[in-house]
């Protein structure tokens, strides 16, 4: 109990420290690496809360892939953040006010791990009771994710798919037109190009005929 | 393309075990922590490591851009198809029990197939994103 408390305080303090450093530094490479560290610390906090599935996702997606993708994107933006000149007092007041309101709202939340909390009263008992005995799947997180709320997860998968398509249309589309341009510049010296073009156009005409 | 022999050897050694671990996370999600989302990201990480060390072209030789796009589509389709099949068997949409008629095996098969669809989509989307970002930069550098 005591050890858990000490670990919690240490991790949360680390989280605040990293957040402050992210705000203070202007170098974007450092920001990316530190947001990876932020995710990893959050993952450690989730492990401490016994939410291993969430921790796993946070470590893999937040600390792993996001960092790599950000670094890949970094290659074509400036390495330093633009220094902002305006110190807006009103914005600061609104931020602090909103933060104070959120802290005030936290007072009304049920305490951590409270068995009588509303979230543990609705459908959760049924999931916990059924998952192992009736469905024979011990990991309740998986049954909730894939079975009880399978429709949600279908939506999530489609969101991932759509996001990927969106980025591909924005970036890969740009590269493709550029490649065609460079190919034209180099003239039709490469015989492979017309070869690959012919069957395509042939199928296209076949399709339009059909 | 990285010529440093340490990177090349380590990447070659790690490539298969990372995918192996990803598959373990994928198909062991019923019993331990894990599932399609995490496994998808882990498997994508293996391919990204390969592309980082051996170059984007070498990465595209394993999974071409076209195959990558089809994998994205196939994952979502597999997920949706499970729902359609369960409807065709007389249940509701995504009612896995209807797949085999018994709760135990139906839920098991349904969740496994659905998670596979999720994993396939996540892997290919992550890979496509990486290649889109990194390839875009490479093209600009060539201009």
Q: Residue B6 above 50 pLDDT?
A: yes
Residue of B nearest to A172 (CA): B132
> Looking at this predicted complex, what is its ipTM?
0.88
Which residues from chain A sit within 8 angstroms of residue B31, using beta carbons?
137-139
Mean pLDDT for chain B overall: 87
Size of interface A-B (CB pairs under 8 A): 149
- Mean pLDDT score, B114-125: 93
Q: Burial of A115 by CB count in 10 Å (0-12 exposed, 13-18 middle, 19+ buried)?
A: exposed
Tokens standing for B79? 């997920």
Asked which of A199-203, B93-97, B121-125 is least confident by mean pLDDT, the reply is A199-203
Q: Which residues contact B8 (CB under 8 A, 6 or more apart)?
A: B2, B53, B54
pLDDT by residue, tens only, chain A of 210 residues: 688 889 989 999 999 999 999 988 888 899 999 999 999 999 999 998 888 889 999 999 889 899 988 888 887 788 887 777 777 889 999 999 999 999 999 988 888 778 888 888 888 888 888 877 777 788 888 888 888 888 999 999 999 999 999 988 888 665 554 455 555 544 444 444 444 444 444 444 444 443
Which residues from chain B sit within 8 angstroms of residue A156, using beta carbons?
37, 118
> How close does chain B come to A168, measured CA to CA in Å?
6
Contact map slice: A 9-48 vs B, CB within 8 A: none
Contact (CB, 8 A) for A45 and A58: no
The backbone torsions φ and ψ at residue A165, rounded to the nearest 5 degrees and listed phi first, read -60, -40
Q: Give the count of beta carbons closer than 10 Å to the beta carbon of residue B143.
A: 7
Q: Give the count of beta carbons closer than 10 Å to the beta carbon of residue A38.
A: 20
Contacts of the segment A54-63: beta carbons below 8 A, 24+ positions apart: A55/B33, A56/B25, A56/B33, A56/B34, A56/B38, A57/B37, A57/B38, A60/B38, A60/B41, A60/B42, A60/B45, A61/B37, A61/B38, A61/B41, A62/A36, A62/A38, A63/A36, A63/A37, A63/A39
Residue A120 DSSP code: G
CB-based contact B94 A160, cutoff 8 Å: no
Which residues from chain B sit within 8 angstroms of residue A175, using beta carbons?
132, 135-136, 139
Q: Give the count of beta carbons closer than 10 Å to the beta carbon of residue B51.
A: 23
Cα distances (angstroms) measured from residue A70 to each of A31, A50, A58, B98: 10, 29, 16, 43
Cα distances (angstroms) measured from residue B136 to each of A26, A45, A80, A188, B142: 25, 36, 20, 23, 10
CB-based contact B114 A146, cutoff 8 Å: yes
Q: Burial of A55 by CB count in 10 Å (0-12 exposed, 13-18 middle, 19+ buried)?
A: buried
Sign for the CA dihedral angle at A35, A36, A38, A39 comes to positive
């Amino acid at each position: 109990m005591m050890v858990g408390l000490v670990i919690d305080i240490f991790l949360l303090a680390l989280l605040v420290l990293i957040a402050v450093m992210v705000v203070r530094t202007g170098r974007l490479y450092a920001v990316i690496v530190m947001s990876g560290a932020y995710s990893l610390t959050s993952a450690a906090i989730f492990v401490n809360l016994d939410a291993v599935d969430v921790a796993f996702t946070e470590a893999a997606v937040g600390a792993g892939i996001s960092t790599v993708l950000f670094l890949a994107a970094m290659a074509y933006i400036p390495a330093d953040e633009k220094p902002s000149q305006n110190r807006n007092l009103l914005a600061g007041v609104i931020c602090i006010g909103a933060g104070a309101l959120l802290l005030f709202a936290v007072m009304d939340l049920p305490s951590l791990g409270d068995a009588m909390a509303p979230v543990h009263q609705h459908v959760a008992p049924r999931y916990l009771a059924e998952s192992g005995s009736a469905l024979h799947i011990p990991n309740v997180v998986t049954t909730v994710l894939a079975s009880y709320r399978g429709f949600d997860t279908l939506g999530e998968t489609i969101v991932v798919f759509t996001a990927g398509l969106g980025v591909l249309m924005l970036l890969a589309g740009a590269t493709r037109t550029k490649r065609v341009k460079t190919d034209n510049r180099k003239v039709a010296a490469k015989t492979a190009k017309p070869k690959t073009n012919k069957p395509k156009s042939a199928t296209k005409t076949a399709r339009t005929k059909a | 393309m990285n010529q440093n022999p340490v990177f090349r050897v380590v990447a070659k050694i790690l490539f298969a075990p990372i995918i192996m671990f990803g598959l373990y996370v994928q198909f062991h999600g019923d019993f331990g922590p894990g599932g399609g989302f995490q496994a998808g990201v882990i498997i994508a990480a293996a391919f990204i490591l390969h592309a980082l060390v051996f170059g984007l072209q070498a990465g595209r030789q394993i999974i071409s851009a076209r195959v990558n796009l089809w994998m994205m589509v196939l994952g979502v389709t597999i997920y949706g198809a499970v729902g359609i099949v369960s409807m065709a068997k007389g249940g509701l949409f995504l009612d896995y029990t209807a797949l085999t008629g018994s709760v135990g095996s139906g839920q098991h098969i349904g969740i496994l197939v659905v998670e596979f669809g999720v994993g396939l989509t996540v892997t290919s989307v992550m890979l496509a994103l990486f290649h889109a970002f990194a390839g875009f930069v490479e093209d600009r550098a060539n201009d």
